[in-house]
Chain A
Amino acid sequence: MAWFKREKSSQEQRPKPKAGDRKVRTEGLWLKCEDCREIIWKKDLEANLNVCPKCGFHFRLDAVSRLKLLFDGEYEEFDRDLVSADPLEFVDSKPYKERLAKSREAARVNDAVISASGTLQGRKVNICSMAMQFIGGSMGCVVGEKITRAVERSLAAKIPLVIVSASGGARMQEGAVSLMQMAKVSAALMRLDEARIPYISVLTDPTTGGTTASFAMLGDLNIAEPNALIGFAGPRVIEQTIRQKLPEGFQRSEFLLKHGMLDAVVQRKDLKNSIAQALLFFCGPANPPA
């Protein structure tokens, strides 16, 4: 995640520890907010759901922390061991198979989405939470299949679906196989739509490319976190195409809200409650567990 890197580069700008803190090793305990430039304790940041306690800037939240934020407690994970067989036998600077293996180790997830089921304010829901740290949260056949199966489980059990996107789009290393996942997931969402089962799309920083151009924009509600980068084409591609600077705030949540692409921009601390309220509106009160 970006802020780990920034933390290192801003080491020399850190204030000297106060006299009382002298004995405490402070290395790696601080970081500088990307937005307000204030120095913040990492512990404070984590306790505040990775939102800057000083200015409210939303740092990225990993896939597991996201599930912990939204579920009431324990949750069951599905299709955990689904692993791509590298259909293209793709090789760039290193073989894709190797990249997959390394990513599995480093990111401690098997691909770019965790599919889980549990309760949210007492209501059973399926949540797919994307892992940006796994090859940029990109969608290949595993992400496409896991999300499609989650849709199918929602259909079979008639329980709402939430997908939290954090993704650079389709996965280049799986070529047209990735591309077709956009159609596969969208078609499955058509069935969910016909069955009138709610699907809430949560767009977080960043959500771009084929992810935005498929399931992320197809929620009954599309809800975004503040200041998330959301778009189809990446800002650099657009800049190169039109050869001019992009306007301030372009492709950020608030920009999309203004242009009618989002239902709401919601602070992380209010996210769970917002989803619960929407599901109450759509489905009525949750059945209390027997």
Chain B
Amino acid sequence: MANEQTPSAGGQLTPEQLAQKDPSWQRVLLARHPKRPYSLDYIERLFTDFREVHGDRSFADDPAIVCGMAFFDGQPVMVVGEQKGRDTKQRFHRNFGMPKPEGYRKAIRVMKMAAKFGRPVVTFMDTPGAYPGIDAEERGQAEAIAHNLREMARLTIPVVAVVIGEGGSGGALALGVGNHVYMMENAIYSVISPESCAAIIWRDSGKAELAAKALRITAADLHRLGLIDAIVPEPPGGAQEDWDEASRLLGETLRRALGELSRLPPGELVRQRYEKFRRMGNFFI
């Protein structure tokens, strides 16, 4: 389940070179593009008065997940997003966007706080995967993710979840149990990284391009499989080309989703979210 941690240098390809690649692999490169907007870039453009809240109240504050109170169209919203770093120093600080258990525990803490005060939650998923390390295992990475999956299912407020870049397996899903789940046009969402999948199948992580296709990880694939609600369009060439326009397009989706969900009573929100995931994967002979 864990993913490669090395950030891809997809951004170094020219548009012509990119066009030569398999369509699924193009998305992988765009989803990992070093100039792609990250959670804080969207937060800055979509919300006002973002006030970050820190820590899991138990062990630490995980910079790979940012949480905060903010206002969307003047309405209070709790925002939770996986955060990658832009330069080398930031990348290490954010642990390449790979959260540790304390990150997931912070996330569910603030989501429960939002539920307590009847405020909706918006989550942004963008991670190569949950961090695979000794300390993360010691503190219960698996338990932290599992706990979030169960507890998000219980939230009595609207939850809108968006894969904005890399939806790296359980590490992303731990923020992904939403009433509405979206993917940006060039985002990917996968159970395993193409590199790890290729290493298992062909003993060659260089065959990641083939694996990306086989795994069906694009927004269109997930939509076809009934695993996401809709695809959020990106500016021509990808979100990295125009952060403001990418934010505006995402904002339209959030506005519609939050508007629809605000009409549902708490019990109905829990039921709708449950039914949505309950139906996933009815692929039987």
Q: Is A242 an interface residue (CB 8 A)?
A: yes
Q: Is B150 an interface residue (CB 8 A)?
A: yes
Contacts of B2 in A (CB 8 A): 232-234, 237-238, 241
CB distance from B111 to the nearest CB of A (A): 14
Q: Is B264 an interface residue (CB 8 A)?
A: no
B146 contacts A84, CB within 8 Å?
no
B137 contacts A232, CB within 8 Å?
yes
Binary B-proximity of A121-136 (CB < 8 A = 1, otherwise 0): 0000000000000000
Q: Which of A148, A174, A194 counts the most B-chain CB atoms under 10 A from its CB?
A: A174
Which partner residue on chain B sits nearest A246 by CB separation? B134
Q: Which residues of B (173-202) have their CB < 8 Å from a CB of A?
A: 173-174, 176-177, 189-192, 196-197, 200-202
B281 contacts A233, CB within 8 Å?
no
Instruction: Report if A84-B283 is in contact (Cβ < 8 Å); known contacts: A183-B149, A186-B153, A213-B142.
Output: yes
Binary B-proximity of A193-211 (CB < 8 A = 1, otherwise 0): 1100000000000000110
Find A217's partner among B147, B225, B282 (CB 8 Å cutoff).
B147
A233 contacts B137, CB within 8 Å?
yes
Q: Is A49 an interface residue (CB 8 A)?
A: no
Q: Is A179 an interface residue (CB 8 A)?
A: yes
Contacts of A191 in B (CB 8 A): 274
B283 contacts A93, CB within 8 Å?
no
Complex alpha-carbon distance, A182 and B147, angstroms: 11
Contacts of B201 in A (CB 8 A): 92-93
Q: Which of B137, B138, B153, B192 counts the most A-chain CB atoms under 10 A from its CB?
A: B137
A183 contacts B284, CB within 8 Å?
no
A172 contacts B191, CB within 8 Å?
yes
CB distance from A188 to the nearest CB of B (A): 7
A-B CB proximity, top 6 nearest: A233-B132, A141-B281, A186-B149, A187-B153, A212-B142, A232-B142
Binding site for A on B (CB under 8 A): 1-2, 5, 130, 132-134, 136-143, 145-147, 149-151, 153-154, 169-170, 173-174, 176-177, 189-192, 196-197, 200-202, 214-217, 221-222, 225, 227, 273-274, 277-278, 280-285
